[in-house]
Amino acid sequence: MKTAIVGAGISGLATGQAILARDPAAEVVVFESGPHTGGKVLSEITPEGYLCEWGVNAFLDKSPRTLELCEEIGLQPVSGDVSAKKRYVFSEGELHKLPEKPPEFFASRLLSFPGRLRVMGEIFSGRTKNPDETLEQFGTRHLGKEAFQKLIDPMASGVFAGNASEMSLKSCFPRIHEVESEFGSLIRGLIKLQKQARKQGKKDTPGPGPGGNLTSFRAGMSVMTDTLTAGLGSRVRVNSPVGGITRSGGQYTVYLADGGSEDFDAVIVAAPAWAQARILHSISPAISGLLQEIEYPPLSVVCLGYREQDTADCMDGFGFLVPSREQRYILGTVADSNVFPGRAPEGCVLYRTMVGGARHPHLAEFPDEQLLDRVRSDLGDIMGLKADPEFVKIYRHERAIPQYLVGHTDRLEAIENHLREFPGLILTGNAFRGVSLNDCVLNAEKTAEKMVATAAVTG
């Protein structure tokens, strides 16, 4: 079976690798519109000696499939420093460390005493009759308004650069939705799941946080996508934008923007949803229209380098998030050089700040000087960072992270129904069932399984 993969981000590359791992003789062609592969994964070592990530800066090592993929392609990941466990939320004029254990939660001043009591009352929560709650509805109902504002709201910005009042719980955090559906209360569910894990002799028991250790590579996340690209070799064609796809007589024709075309038995489209909508418009206006509904707000990433002596009392740990109620310009800041080695020259630190997203999309489009002024103003107020940076690098994402808004699962179901008309056409990528790198790698594995099974039946 001759298969086309459209898009050479992590989803497309990992899918190609997974297909060839099952069938080394498979005929696979990967089309990439741009000059390089990797999609949102792009590491840059600057002349000043800073290692900056344009997009994805790490993954959590809790996903076996991602670690298996690293082993398959001969990579040795690097775990983040223990300081990565320290995460902060800026609230009411100061940085508060997120509690990692119950005693820390009771001692923390992030939530007021009534707010902490309200969180403890979550154990009496029950299931909802709402089939598709927003993060705000869920968080307020289970944990109370204050906990939503100071914990759930900034988390939505940190993971999705999204608006918690519009995002779907069951689409964004399906595991939490499953626990609530089964146990009613998250606390009761967590206690029961921990007991089950201990009975089964598991060392890692479920916790309230995402779990796992932050993981990357010494030369940055591009090591993974570059290695995947090298393994696929001449199967990858860069600077080859796909203009459209048609189907006739059981075969698909992929039309390139330069006027060329090529026939395939199957097509996997792994580009962003907005690009998929354009590519698939001629073959299915219905699918195209549904894909166009998936929103991608703009996001700017501002990387700033400082001398260590100018940041000594600013912040340890991974970084901090800012709740929307604080009315700040920035969404949060990550201290990359605190987490992984080699992110900054000796004696320097690297901070990476996010601006824009669904909360303030217009701020992401500010001119460089104006954007930098806003970031420095907030870092000065939040971290006490008043020194001039010795290094500045700004990365802009016109369309950043796909938003899983209320109605997302219904949209995916409608897309799947339309795809039944097109055997051998599969859509994948972070616009559907998980935005993280781990999600993309796992979904790539599932896509390859489906494609190889289809080939066995038709062959």
Q: What are the pLDDT digits (tens) for 437-455?
A: 999 999 999 999 988 777 6
What pLDDT, in 10s, does the model give residues 193-234?
888 878 877 655 555 555 688 999 999 999 999 999 999 999
2-39+220-295+404-458 adopts what CATH topology?
A: FAD/NAD(P)-binding domain (3.50.50)
Position 297: which residue type? Answer: P
Say which CATH architecture domain 111-199 belongs to: Orthogonal Bundle (1.10)
And the tokens for 47? 């002349």
Give the residues across from 60 on adjacent strands: 214
pLDDT of residue 315: 81
What residue segments make up the domains of the chain, in order of their start?
2-39+220-295+404-458, 111-199
**DSSP-assigned letter for residue 38:** B
Q: Alpha-carbon distance 442 to 417, whole Å?
A: 22
pLDDT of residue 40: 92
What pLDDT, in 10s, does the model give residues 259-317?
999 999 999 999 999 999 999 999 999 999 999 999 999 999 999 999 999 997 778 88
Q: What is the pTM of this model?
A: 0.92
And the tokens for 429? 């990528």
**DSSP-assigned letter for residue 431:** T
CA distances from 349 to 315, 343, 352 (A): 11, 8, 10
Q: 38's torsion region: left (phi>0), alpha (psi -120 to 50) or beta?
A: left
Per-position b or e across 312-323, b if 16+ CB within 10 A of its CB: eebbebbbbbbb
